[in-house]
Chains A and B, each alone.
Chain A
Amino acid sequence: MPESLDPVPEPAGGPLVPPDPAAAPGPGVPQPQLVRSPLSDGEWHRLHPLTPLLRGGLFLIVVIGIVFANLRDRLLYIFLPWLAPGVGDEVVEWEQVGGDPVDFIIANNLYVLAGVAVLAVLIVLVAVFYTSWRFHTFRITDDDVEVRSGILFRTQRRAPLDRVQGVNLTRPMIARLLGMAKLEVVGAGTDANVKLEYLSTANAEAVRADILRLASGRRLAMAAGPAGGPGPRPVGRVASLSQTVGREITGLIEGPEAPVAEVESVVHIPVGRLVASHVLSTSTLGLLFAVVAIVIGVSQGVTWLLLGFVPAIIGFGAYWVRSIVRSLRYSIAPTPDGVRITFGLFTTITEIVPPGRVHAVEVTQGIFWRPAGWWTIRINRLTGRSATDSTTDQFTTVLPVGTASDVDRVLRLLQPSLADEERALILQEGMFGPAEDDTFANTPERAWWIRPLSYRRNGFRLTEDVLLMRRGAVWRKLVILPLARLQSIGLYQGPLDRASRVTNVRAHTVTGPVSPFLAAVDRDTALALFDDVAHGSVRAALTDRTHRWAQDESVAPSTPAPAAASGPEAPAGHGTEPAPTAPSAPVPHPGTVPAPPSSAEPAPASSPAPEDRG
């Protein structure tokens, strides 16, 4: 069941697609060498035909639920005598008390009318879903991704590619079984994402690769033919669907991702560590505290406290299970187009964050994790979601729990511009400091009372590219701010700070879980920092080219021809063998990627899972 691969006829779309004189010539069809999916050829395309089913799924379930609730008695009445012959009479009596619509229909002999009504409703529903699917089209051009939808109220949304903050592929359980995925192009702004839901997984991967390739500004000739390739083998739709379901179930059990060549994750989190890290958390402390309070309360005779305890336990369990399941099968790996982060057991989310989209990084270690040496990494980035969206968390925690060397590897991906020795030093001092010869500018002794526990550790360090803020003795934190992303910097001084001749420093970045704030910095040092950061961030921003991260690589070595033919995308291979694919372009920062140069380019749409096309 393919997305309609034929472009939607632009002018002849009849009443469906109103002629759009502005867009008619197309704002630049992507160069055919750059795109691999037939869906990203600059024409309008429709989404997967099963989209209405998945999107309307919830609605359908609600309707079915209502129908069932209404007919429950009726069903009981039909089946109960058959299952338990003795109770028949009681059921009849019970049934006569409350009338339901079915009784009414039976009593008045309205079978035909009822059937027609149900049929009419169904036809209307199907028609509405079908038209809305017909109207929901997207196109991917040289400069932007565009989606139009709506029947009466048309919406058209266009995301410029050089502002793409990431592309994520969500595969909810049900869609996953049907071999479909939701593609989301993350824009810079609140509720600024462009969603393509749903596409078949193979197409979604190819489209994502195309979007990233177009966004990267890469202008090299991709080897081999673009899209198309040999015509897909015709397979019956039912057979195709059952094959898909079978494959996806296998995939669910065995745990492969989409049929692409995967670069090995640089971090592996054992399940034991994941569970232990949740046990050793503040919420556990809260739970213990509550248990103690309740035990004391109950021993004093306040038994109703027990009633409150049960929901609390259930809530806790649910929270734990949810966050552990979410972090299961976590992986983070470098690709030519950015860092790829995957997580989720049932609903898998794969996100690629292009270089330079990370606005702040925070490495944290709570007191309970210190004996185990675990850290967590969160980032500030534009997720395109509103701040209240609970799923934002998933896109900002890039390392749920890891050792110091895991942190090192993840930081290497997130901040490739840092030199290796420098990063090692930063981590050593920033995470574990202060040591003997500390290079951070710390809180002066006279201001110890502002941070009584951590004043020795509380400090900053400015390097060529990043500003580091180290704080917290109990709750160790290290904030890493790339100057190229820093929006502005502020100094704040209250009367008490002034008395100690110190000031607070706050760096302003996009909203997120990381708050780059440092209290009690020496006043003169802070003023120097104020100027240095101002100049440093201007300089860094001038040399920053990450909005078109691969533009300068147009002289990259051309890809050998066999690469595309014997691509890495054998569906059964789980993509683990290093494919002989040459890098489509050098990784933006050579030397930062430990993996062999096996490209993480998703497969050309032509080769994976040909049975996917009917």
Chain B
Amino acid sequence: MTNSPEATTPDSSPASTATDGAAEFSRLVEPRSESRLALQSGVWHQISPKYVTVQLISTGSFLAVVIAATLVLTLLMHQIWAWIPGGIMTVILGWTLAILPRQARSIGYQLRDDDLVFRRGILWQRFVAVPYGRMQLIDITHGPLDRGFGIAQLKFVTAAAATGVVIPGLAQSTAETLRDHLVEVAESRRTGL
């Protein structure tokens, strides 16, 4: 895994920035089957548990609105049909909430010598390897709720739309250090399109 001529940056540089206490999950959730996707080596960095809190709050409040609207429509205004969309949305959102904590623990990234590996998903696993030199830009976004909890989402954009490396729920300082690190590494390995 280290056949690059300039294997000088081990995958630890941003790790040192993200060790303030329990700022990250420490255990990766994977499928139980032996046939799951897994890499032989490397350290998986994980995201902040605050991401779960933020998602719980935002999805939970949306769920509350949906339930309230359904109840108002059916009980007060006697619109019986509202049960159907309301029920479907409630089930979907409830399920989303239920799997959220496990799902968040399945998100991880590795900083290898020449590329970034991103993983997410348990039932539907997804692994993506992006060479640093392919970076077109890095996007960091944080909404008001994210800011309140001090987390941010980092998006690694390449020339291919399908790459889709979006790391949510990074501590804000981690996201910024990671961004600077990625930009720096990409600059030294700059390639064409």
By a beta-carbon cutoff of 8 Å, the part of chain A in contact with chain B is 162-163, 165, 188, 356, 359, 382, 484-485, 487-495, 498-501, 503, 506, 508-511, 523, 527, 530-531, 533-535, 537-539, 541-542, 544, 546-547
Contacts and interface: CB of A to CB of B under 8 A. Distances in A.
Contacts of A539: 4
A188 B37 contact: no
B129 A533 contact: yes
Contacts of A485: 193
B158 interface: yes
Nearest to A500: B35
17 contacts: A162-B192, A382-B193, A488-B165, A492-B127, A493-B36, A494-B124, A498-B33, A499-B33, A509-B162, A510-B193, A530-B127, A534-B112, A535-B1, A535-B3, A535-B114, A538-B131, A544-B191
A175 B130 CA distance: 46
A508 B127 CA distance: 12
B36 A498 contact: yes
B35 A501 contact: yes
B108 interface: no
Interface string B26-39: 00000101111111
B159 A510 contact: yes
Contacts of A165: 193
Most chain A Cβ neighbours within 10 Å, of B36, B37, B123: B37
Contacts of B1: 531, 535
B191 A488 contact: no
Interface size class of B (residues with CB under 8 A): 35 or more
A488 B35 contact: no
A422 B53 CA distance: 55
B83 to A, nearest CB: 31
Contacts of B130: 487-488
Contacts of B161: 511
A523 B114 contact: no
A528 to B, nearest CB: 10
A523 B127 CA distance: 12
A484 B33 CA distance: 35
Given A487-B163, A488-B163, A523-B35, A538 B124 contact: no
Contacts of A488: 128-131, 134, 158, 160, 163, 165
B129 A489 contact: yes
A490 B127 contact: yes
Contacts of B128: 488-491, 508
A494 B124 CA distance: 4
Nearest to A503: B37
A438 B129 CA distance: 28
A493 B161 CA distance: 20
B139 to A, nearest CB: 16
B192 A546 contact: yes
Contacts of B115: 534, 538
A498 B36 CA distance: 6
Nearest to A189: B159
B133 interface: yes
A493 B163 contact: no
Most chain A Cβ neighbours within 10 Å, of B33, B112, B127: B127
B189 interface: yes
Interface in B132-157: 133-134
A538 B129 CA distance: 11
A508 B4 contact: no
Nearest to A382: B193
A237 B121 CA distance: 70
B4 A538 contact: yes
A175 to B, nearest CB: 31
B126 interface: yes
Contacts of A527: 37-40
Given A356-B192, A547-B192, A188 B127 contact: no
Contacts of A493: 36-37, 124-126
Interface in B89-143: 112, 114-115, 117, 123-131, 133-134
A476 B193 CA distance: 29
Contacts of A538: 4, 114-115, 131, 133, 189
Contact of B160 (A510, A541, A546): A510
Given A498-B125, A508-B158, A534-B117, 14 more contacts: A487-B130, A487-B160, A490-B163, A491-B126, A494-B123, A499-B35, A508-B162, A510-B159, A533-B129, A534-B129, A535-B3, A538-B4, A539-B4, A542-B133
Contact of B35 (A498, A511, A534): A498
A527 B34 CA distance: 14
A509 B159 CA distance: 7
A527 B38 CA distance: 8
A482 to B, nearest CB: 11
Given A487-B159, A487-B160, A487-B163, A530 B129 contact: yes
Contacts of B35: 498-501, 523
Contact of B134 (A188, A487, A547): A487
Given A488-B129, A488-B130, A489-B128, A541 B191 contact: yes
Nearest to A497: B35
Contacts of B192: 162-163, 356, 484, 541, 544, 546-547
Given A488-B128, A488-B163, A489-B128, A541 B37 contact: no
